[in-house]
Every structure is written in structure tokens, then in C-alpha cells.
Amino acid sequence: MLKGGVTVSPFSKEDRGRFRNDKGRITLLATTASLIILTLIYGCIIISQPINGNRIKITLIQGNIEQVKKWDPRHARDITQTYADLTQGAAKDQPAIIIWPETSTPGAINLIPKLYFELRETVKEAGTYLLLGSAQHQKFGEKGTTKPKYFNSAFLIDPQPKMVKQQRYDKIRLFPFGEYLPSKGIIPWSLIKVSGSDHYISGKEFTVFEHPDFRFGVIICWENVFPDLVRQFVNRGAQCIINLTNEAHFGKTAAPHQLVSISVFRAVENGVYVVRCANTGVSCIIDPYGRIVDRVKDERGQDIFIRGTMTGWVIPLDSKTIYTRYGDWLVWVAFIGSVVFLIVAWGRGMFKRKADRASCKK
């Protein structure tokens, strides 16, 4: 519109501001939708590709031992026999390795010679490697004390005894109140009558187990919650991650399935298979794309608080994803970027309010 030789917009200042805001919203929505669509397309392309490599046959043993019986000496014989029978049955499939869950033996195998020799006999008869969890006694406690302490450990037993160092991993991230008391030297837990175990000490080494067919890392119990810990094993050469766990204390709740969901992220983050072997379930194999390949279940499809075995396949992978290589740097970049964005937005808001006040005074 021309007025006095000058072009005048038919829209008011408020209309033009509203138009700019609507345009900005549309651009933001379009950008967001485009990124989501591109992500979905990329995901479909990736998971459609086959996973290539030499397949390794493994067998998971889910003993389903009640929590109240695990450390009761009266049930030690039944527990040992249960795992021996399940192992002998599973050995018929001739897997490369048989896996038992966390603290599956009714006692420390280095403190009870009879238990250790029975275990060796079971492995010899099965004719294959056995990975299992057992509480490992430490002769001296922390800081040179003589109070007995334990490692929560995983052992790899060779079917053919050799004069080599025993392969063992000691749990690094202990479970608070179940295995240690947090900040014990600062917080007087005994005075405030907080119950909890303080019998364990944490391991220090990211052990990568050497099997004739592949290399793997072991995480115990809730260590699958910590992505930074899992990636350390893969960075050190682990081609597969095996999680030994006992979730009997959660009962028939959603917790075991939630922990499986967490393991899915660990598989995708590092591009390797993740195997879970749980006392009461869920015992399963997760591929590098986060898909649960198979699990221990009964004829009704139940996968917790049932006893059984499962034989499946994993493919050892020398994958080094961006997360495996660099860890949480992207999280920190996003965090710093968010802080900068908030500071800039706050500063612009302050500047605009001052400008508005100045214009009002005029």
C-alpha cells in the first residue's frame, strides 16, 4: 500500500511479529520431523544388514534357586546337584561354553575344596568350558585388616586342567547396602541402625576372558546399569559381554524385565552381543541391534522364576562404535550447549525487558 509515496505494510507491528513467530515454529517442527524421519530410515537400513562372523554356540543355565536357600548349608547339596544335572543335560548340545549365573555355587569355591573338586568333575564330564559366579574369599580385608572380606567373582573353568593362571573377574561396582555401606567412614550407619551387608570389596581390573573361540567381558549383577563400565571391556578387546546376575530378591516384579531393557542399550551402544544369565530370569541373548534373540522360558512362555536351559548362538564382534571409542562426550557437549542456550535466552530476555521499560518511559 502506498501512502504519501511510501510503501506501508497492511499488517500491524503485532501481526508481523506473530507471523515471524509462526514461521519460526513451523521451521522448528519441520526440522525436528526431518531428523526423526532420517533417524528411522537410518535405523531400518542398519538392522536390515546381516551380522557376519563365526557363530559360537553357548548354553545358559537358569537354576531358579530361591533366595532364602542360596546361602543355607542345608540346601547346598541340592543346589550343587541341580546345576550339575542341568549342565550334563545341556552338554549334549556340545556348546563352546556353558554359563551359570551370579554366586551360583553354595559357597566360595576356593574355601571349600570338596565343592571345587565336584565342580571340576562336572566340567570334565561336560567336556566344555564353564563360566560361573562364586563369592571369592580374600585373605585380608581392606587396609590390611584381618576381617574376612569377599570378592563377588566370575570364574572361567577349563575342561582340561592346565598349569595356567586361573581366569577370574572381581566385581568392580558393588551394590550399595547389599555388598557395601556407602561412605562408611563418614556416615555412622551403625548408630542410625541401617541394615546392610559390608562383606565385600570391589575389584580393580577390567578382565577380558580368553576362550579358544572368542574374547568376552563379564559384568556382574547391576553393573549393566553403568554404560561407562561396560564400554571399558569392549575397548580392551571383549567381543561379547556376559552378564551374570541374581535377581531373585526382586520377586515377581517388573525389575528383571527392566534390567533386560537396560542391557539392550549396552548391546546397541557397543555394537556387540550381550548375554544375560540370571538365577531366576530373565536369561537371554541380545544381538548388537538390541533384539532379544532367545530366552529361557517354559511351555507357557514364562521367563522368570522357572528352571531351565537355553542353547543359542553369538557372533564375536570387534566392533568399536562412536560410544565405545569416546564415551559420554556427546552428553557433555549437549549439556554444555543447553547451559549456553539457557544463558543466552536469559540474557536476551533481560535485554528485551529493559528495552521495553525504556520505550514505555518515552
In this prediction, residues 297-303 reach a mean pLDDT of 93
In this prediction, residues 273-297 reach a mean pLDDT of 96
pLDDT of 141 over the 50 cut: no
Residue in the structure block whose three cell numbers are 548408630:
191
pLDDT of 112 over the 90 cut: no
**Phi and psi at residue 309, to the nearest 5°:** -135, 165
In this prediction, residues 142-166 reach a mean pLDDT of 74
Cα–Cα distance between 39 and 49 in angstroms, integer?
16
Q: What is the pTM of this model?
A: 0.83
Residue ranges with strand state E in 40-128: 56-62, 97-99
pLDDT of 207 over the 60 cut: yes
In this prediction, residues 113-122 reach a mean pLDDT of 89
Query: What is the pLDDT confidence band of residue 28, given thresholds at 50, 70 and 90?
Result: confident
For the chain, the average pLDDT equals: 85
CB distance 278 to 248 below 8 Å: no
pLDDT of 140 over the 50 cut: no
Provide the pLDDT for residue 146: 54
CB distance 58 to 314 below 8 Å: yes
Provide the pLDDT for residue 48: 87
Percent of the chain clearing pLDDT 70 (strictly above): 82
Cα–Cα distance between 6 and 3 in angstroms, integer?
5
Instruction: Identify the active-site residue in 149, 179, 221, 269.
Output: 221
Quick one: how far is CA 142 from the chain centroid?
A: 27
Burial class of residue 216, CB neighbours in 10 A (0-12, 13-18, 19+) = buried
| Top-confidence residue, 176 or 300 | 300
Q: Is 171 annotated as catalytic?
A: yes
In this prediction, residues 176-201 reach a mean pLDDT of 69
In this prediction, residues 238-258 reach a mean pLDDT of 94
φ/ψ region of 27 (left if φ > 0, alpha if ψ in -120 to 50, else beta) reads: alpha
Whats the size of the chain, residue-wise?
Answer: 362
pLDDT of 213 over the 80 cut: yes
pLDDT of 71 over the 90 cut: no
Range from 56-70, 88-102, 139-153, 317-331 carrying the lowest mean pLDDT:
139-153
Instruction: Identify the active-site residue in 70, 171, 269, 284.
Output: 171
| Top-confidence residue, 172 or 335 | 172
Instruction: Identify the active-site residue in 70, 102, 149, 247.
Output: 102
Query: What is the pLDDT confidence band of residue 361, given thresholds at 50, 70 and 90?
Result: low
Provide the pLDDT for residue 273: 97
Provide the pLDDT for residue 178: 76
Fold of 56-326: Nitrilase/N-carbamoyl-D-aminoacid amidohydrolase (3.60.110)
Quick one: how far is CA 44 from the chain centroid?
A: 24
pLDDT of 42 over the 70 cut: yes
Provide the pLDDT for residue 282: 95
Burial class of residue 332, CB neighbours in 10 A (0-12, 13-18, 19+) = exposed
In this prediction, residues 201-210 reach a mean pLDDT of 93
Provide the pLDDT for residue 189: 63
Provide the pLDDT for residue 123: 93
Burial class of residue 177, CB neighbours in 10 A (0-12, 13-18, 19+) = middle
Provide the pLDDT for residue 195: 55
Range from 66-75, 232-241, 263-272 carrying the lowest mean pLDDT:
66-75
Q: Is 102 annotated as catalytic?
A: yes
Provide the pLDDT for residue 302: 94
